[in-house]
Each structure stands twice: as structure tokens, then as C-alpha cells.
Structure 1
Amino acid sequence: MEPMNDTRILGFLLLRLSEEPELQPIIFGLFLSMYLTTVFGNLLIILAISSDSHLHTPMYFFLSNLSFVDICVTSTMVPKTLSNIQTHSKVITYAGCVTQLYFSVLFIGLDGLLLTVMAYDRFVAICHPLHYSVIMNPQLCGLLVLVSWIMSALHSLTESLMALPLLFCTGLKIPHFFCELDQIIHIACSDTFLNNLVMYLSAVLLGGGPLAGILYSYSKIASSIRAISSAEGKYKAFSTCASHLSVVSLFYCTGLGVYLSSAATHNSLSSAAASVMYTVVTPMLNPFIYSLRNKDIKEALRQFFRRKK
């Protein structure tokens, strides 16, 4: 097939999760309920933290940023999916696809970087408790979040700019529910060696790097907890990490599961279904994990609703 220039491309076809007409209302209901739960749950976390002065600490500052990014992750993908199901359309414009690609790479990468920053915060709190307030000062906290945004934005911009020169054939079908980078590169007709190289290098640096930082932090945390003599002290130290460790496990296990299942089965539609886990389900579960396992958040939410009443 002859490749066509990007300027002639009107759009792509997103093939959704299923082509069965009778399943579309069910998928619409599931996506809508998960999206609303994600938005309202994470907004409650942000409101609780901002309204309670006792939660104006580094840990909750990072958590409020993570909640904001989780809202952005799902808002990048789910509304378009809901719109296409409701209008019985599969079309996404070329500009819309590139925009979705940019923001999906931005926010998913930012999720991983913020989880790494939160792991560092827990490392300092448990391994260097006497110097915690000095090390984790407001300037450093702001700088860590800013650097995370800059790194993720540069990575996303690089990937998006490298996707712009790609030439596509006449079959512009993306077997996914959003414009995912790997799928766009896969359907291109032009040479994608450099795109694949940058994508895999980025996965190692911005995926493996943060994961290595998290594992290192928790190895040091585990050593410090083992050195605590009392069982109560060990439990108290571990409880401060439990919520974050649960979110990290959920994020990386689902993300790795997507790529491992995709490599094993080479089934794009099954990969798209697996992608729902870390792009929709994980952001939805994060507020529940932090609110159910965190007494401070639960108390802040009680105070918030009490003031509203």
C-alpha cells in the first residue's frame, strides 16, 4: 500500500474493546461509573488535604498531586471513549489522536515519577526521622514535583514530535480504545526504527529507573523496620508505607502485565483490555486505598463533610 502524507489524514478509527453491539451499553456504563468514581474520589482526597491544616505535610502534598494526575489520566482517554460509544462512532481526528497521545504519555509517566518521589519521602521519614523536616522542606518538595513534571513533559513532547513525521497507509485502524504510542507506531508505513528505539529507551529510563528507585527506597525502609525493637514500632512504621506500597504494586503490576501479555499473545485487543487496568481501574482504586488505610485521610473527610452539613 502506498503511504499517505500526514496532512491528508483526517483521522483514525479506534476499534474499542469489543465490536459486539449488545456489549456497548454495558461497556459505556462501566466506563462512565469508573470515570465518575475516579474523578469524585480523587477530588475528595484533594479537598480533604487542602481543607485540613494537619495534612499540609510533604506526604499529603505528594498525594494531592498524585490524585490530580490520576484525574488527568482518565480524563485524557475515557470521555472520548464514552463519546464514541454514545454516537456509534469510531473516529478520532488526527489532531485529536496526537493530542491524546501527548497527554496520555505525559500523565502516565508522571504517575510513575510521583510514586517514586513518594517512596523517597517515606524513606526519609523512616530511615532519617530526626532530619525529616529539614530534608523534606517545602522548597525541596516543590522542586521534586516540578522536576517530575518537566521530565515527563519533555519525554511526552519528544515522543509526540517523533510521531508527527510518520507516514500511514490507508488502513488507519487502531485496535485500542485510545491513541496509544505503541499502536500508532505499529500501524505506520514509514521506517519506525528510531521511534521504537526511543520508546524502548524511554521505557527503561522512565519506567525502570523510577521502579529501581522505589525498590531501593523500600529495601532501606525494610532494613530500618527490622532494626526497630518493639512490635508496635514496627507496625507503626510499616503502616505509614502500606497505602503507598499498595498503589505502587497495583500500578506497576498492571502496567507490566499489559506489556507482558501483549508480548506473549500479540493480541492488540487483549492488550487494550489489559490497558484498562492501569489507565482506568488503578486511578479509580487509589482514593479507596488511601482513604480506607489512612486514619488521617478518613478523619479529614469526616471533618470536611461535617463542615458542609
Structure 2
Amino acid sequence: MNTSSKYMVDFKESALRTLEIEKQSLAHLATQIDDRFVKACALILNCQGRLVITGVGKSGHIGRKMAATFASTGTPSFFMHPGEAGHGDLGMLVAGDILIAISNSGKSDEIMMLMPLIKHLKVPLITITGNNLGTMPKYADVALTLGGLKEACPLGLAPTSSTTATLALGDALAVALLEARGFTSDDFARSHPAGALGKRLLLKVENLMAKENNIPKVFSDSSLGDALFEINTKRLGLTTIVDQNNILLGVFTDGDLRRLIEKNPTFDISTPISDLMSKSPLTILKDARAVDALEQLQSKKINHCIITNDCNQVIGILDMHLLMQAGIA
């Protein structure tokens, strides 16, 4: 049933037409990426201050998103409303900054009113406009253009294709600068410490591992019975086996116990644990990222790893349960 028929419009056809027009606008935008784009990137990359973005109406909304994207990818940036700038907020803009001004028409009165002051501050100006016929590009150090796009709005009035293209152009600038700066996932996480991604990238093994008295541990001359008691007491599903200097010699896990029972149901609990332990357990240093430890556990299809120092002394245990509790797994 076509539920849109009673509304005298085919909603699906309208949506597909809109997306097709906006897809074409992005394809056309690609033809506008030339030496001007390169110059804009170089200006921003060498900026000693902040990247300030301004725009009115829908351009302002896009500008706010662009500023947020730049700021989270290594380019200090904020949005300045041009109307408020004319009433004192222009003090946010100082020598050493760069200004990106957005206006599809290139004739925004609010932005044009600021031009004499912007030139007085000698702040480099990058404009983003539909074409270079407006007034704003004439003041620009770099005049980026969208290429005179057709709006998806059938009236040709509501900013649609132009805002999509502006947003995409802002993303292209941000990504190019991200790559030029060598911006890494660790850098991104430091800008997002409260988010799930930040947690995954910032948490270290030492922040999650069981340590000190919570580490299951027996000496190499201990019996299987001693090891089982330690496993049951510490409840991590394994015990480490160490020498008198706390050097890791091996591990014995719940899985090892199950395999022992299957092989020899009448096993002797007085058997030395050194005869039964796994001698090559997975070890990780405490300053490793928890997400990297998770990848190693998953690749080896095991649930535990031993945290050691540079001398191979046991300083912690990390298991899948602890990673799940922290929201990493």
C-alpha cells in the first residue's frame, strides 16, 4: 500500500530525487578542489592562533558543526556569530587567528559589516561561497567556491544542496589537516575522554588489571591442590606460577583443569603444578592499551593475560570479565 498517495505526493520518489540532486552537488563540488583548497589547508596548518568560523542562518549551523569537527581533529577552532561579533564578540578574534566566513550568496550583510575590522586585524580570510561573484570573495585571501549548485528544494529557496556541499567541504579540509598533522586515534581519544571511544583508546591495562593481593599466585613447588585452592579463592579462572623472585614460570587455568579431567579423571591433586602448567602464557606490559590487550585475547581465543614488568615479574592479571565491566569488550 502506498501510504503517501493520500497526501498527493510520492514520499519515496521525493526522497530519491533529493538524494540524487545532493549526490550530483557533491560530484560537482569535487571539480572545485584545486590550488585554492591547497592554499587554504596551508594557511590553516601554519596558523599560530585559532581557526574561527562565522556564518548566518543555515550557514551558521554548518559553521558550528565545522568548528566542532576541526576542534576534535587537531585544529583549535570555534564558531563566532557575525551578528554578535558586531556587538562585542569580535574581541574573540585576534591577530594570529584565521577566519572562515560562509555565505552561499557571498553577500551576507552581517559578515560584510565586519570586513574593515578583519582587515585591520590582518586576520587571513577564507570564504566559502556558492560562486565568486559576491562581495565576500573579493576580500578573501582564499575564496573557496561550491560551484553554483542546484538546491534540492523544488522552490530553489531552502538551503539543501548548498549546505550539504559546505559541510562536505569542511570535512575535506578537516581530514586533509588531520592527515597533515599526523593526528592519531590517541590524539582523537584525548579530545573525547568522556565518550565510549575515548574510553576504549585511553584506558591502559594498569587501570583495569587485578593486582597485589588479588593476583592468584602459587610457587613452582606447589601441588595441584594448592593451585585449585588459589583459583577458587581469587575467582579469576586461573593462577600464575612463579619462583621465589616473583618471576612468571607459567599458568594453570580452569580450561587446563577440564582438559586434565577429560584425560585422567583420577588425577592426583598432589601432582606438582609445575608438571601441569602452561609454560608460555600471554603476557602484556602494564602501559599497553586495554583495547590492544582485548585484540590479543580475541586473536588467541583466550580469556586471560598476565601483566608483567620488564623483568617478567607478575604485577597483574587481566581477563575478559574485567574488560567487559569497563565497557571495552
TM-score (norm. length: structure 1): 0.25
Which structure is higher in helix share? 1
Structure with greater contact order relative to length (CA < 8 Å, sep ≥ 6): 1
Which structure is higher in strand share? 2
- Bigger Cα Rg: 2
TM-score (norm. length: structure 2): 0.24
